[in-house]
Copies of this chain bind each other. A is one copy, B any other.
Amino acid sequence: MTSSSPPPALAHSAGVAHAHKGDGDVLRCLVCDIRNRSLCSSMDEEGLAALAHSSRQLQLPPGTTIVEEGEPALAFFNVTGGTVKLFKSLPDGRRQITGFADAGQFLGLSTAQTYSFGAETVDNVRLCRFLRPQLETLLSDYPTFERRLLAAVTDKLAEAQEQMLLLGRKTAREKVATFLLDRMRAYHLTMGHTRQEVENLASVPMTRVDIADYLGLTIETVSRTISAFRRSHLIASAENHRIRILSVATLLTIASGQKPD
């Protein structure tokens, strides 16, 4: 709820306009440039064709609601481009962002009838949508795919535990340092190659509100902490919502709970 445009309902409105029919191009998955970094890497050529048939590709603008808390859990998504935020809210509006899903990450898994979380695009997002029954079929037909999903969810759980440590036990300073390093890693991953120019850059497409809601802080504290890092020459601003990390080592020390200035 931070973008200027009012969040459209779901893929039914904004997304479908750009949607490619699931059975339109069987090659879609075969030529997908991030498939090696996603669940789809578990598939052979036949499996990739099945994936293409089972899914629709959507292209969504910033601030679009993908999944609404409490709504029927009808679909599963694989992010192929951009960044999605996942969150949970309290009745009075307090919100916790539980994670950012960058390209190659999945979202929307649920054993309950309804989603227990919301999801919204941060920037321009491309994703593949699988309806529940189609996902179930894929899991049954392709054991390697199911095994890969199990591994992916297991990794997400480990990530969540790491975030719990951050939320429950780290100081504001430590939280922000951790966040910046995580964003640097995420950027390196989505860029694939760790090119010279990309090195030590962190992609931060989300607003201060989102960062605050992710770290369990207020926007003011986030802003102050980032300013302090900048003053200490630990980081510097870069073009296009990016931050250059000038001292990875120091930030690592801070993030892990040791004091250095």
Rounded to whole Å, the gap between the CB of A253 and the closest CB of chain B is 10
Asked whether any CB of chain B lies closer than 8 Å to the CB of A111, the reply is yes
Complex formed: what's the CA distance from A86 to B140 in Å?
A: 32
Q: Is A156 an interface residue (CB 8 A)?
A: yes
Which of A18-26, A44-52, A159-167, A189-197 participates in binding chain B? A159-167
B90 with A256: CB separation less than 8 A = yes
B-binding segment of A31-39, A141-149, A239-247: A141-149
A7 sits at the interface (CB 8 A): no
* A109-B154, A111-B151 known; A168-B216 Cβ under 8 A: yes
Closest residue of chain B to A160, judged by CB? Answer: B160
CA distance A98 to B158 in the complex (A): 10
Q: How far is the CA of A117 from the CA of B168 in the complex (A)?
A: 15
A256 to B86 Cα, complex, angstroms? 19
Size of the chain A interface, CB-CB below 8 angstroms? 46
B257 near A169 with CB under 8 A, answer no
Query: How far is B117's CA from A151's CA once the two chains are assembled, in angstroms?
Result: 17
Instruction: Answer whether residue A94 sits at the interface, using C-beta atoms and an 8 A cutoff.
Output: yes
B154–A90 touching, CB < 8 Å: no
Closest to A86 in B: B161
Query: Contact: A161 with B257, CB < 8 Å?
Result: no
The binding surface of chain A is classed by DSSP as helix
Cβ contact of A146, chosen from B147, B157, B258, cutoff 8 A? B147
Of B96, B110, B157, the residue contacting A168 (CB under 8 A) is B96
A161 to B67, CA, bound (A): 15
Asked if A95 is at the interface of the complex by the 8 Å CB criterion, the answer is yes
- Whether A90 contacts B165 by the Cβ 8 Å rule is yes
Knowing A147-B139, A164-B164, the reply to whether A158 touches B216 (Cβ < 8 A) is: no
Contacts of A86 in B (CB 8 A): 161
Cβ proximity bits A165-197 to B, threshold 8 Å, 1 near / 0 not: 101111000000000000000000000000000
Judged by a CB distance under 8 angstroms, whether A261 is at the interface is no
A164, B160: Cβ atoms under 8 Å? yes
Selected contact of A92 from candidates B158, B168, B257, CB within 8 Å: B257
A-B contacts, 15 of them at CB < 8 A, read A88-B162, A90-B170, A91-B257, A109-B154, A109-B157, A110-B154, A111-B151, A112-B158, A116-B158, A146-B146, A149-B150, A160-B160, A160-B164, A163-B164, A167-B167
The 5 tightest CB contacts between A and B, nearest first, are A168-B216, A160-B160, A167-B167, A90-B257, A96-B165
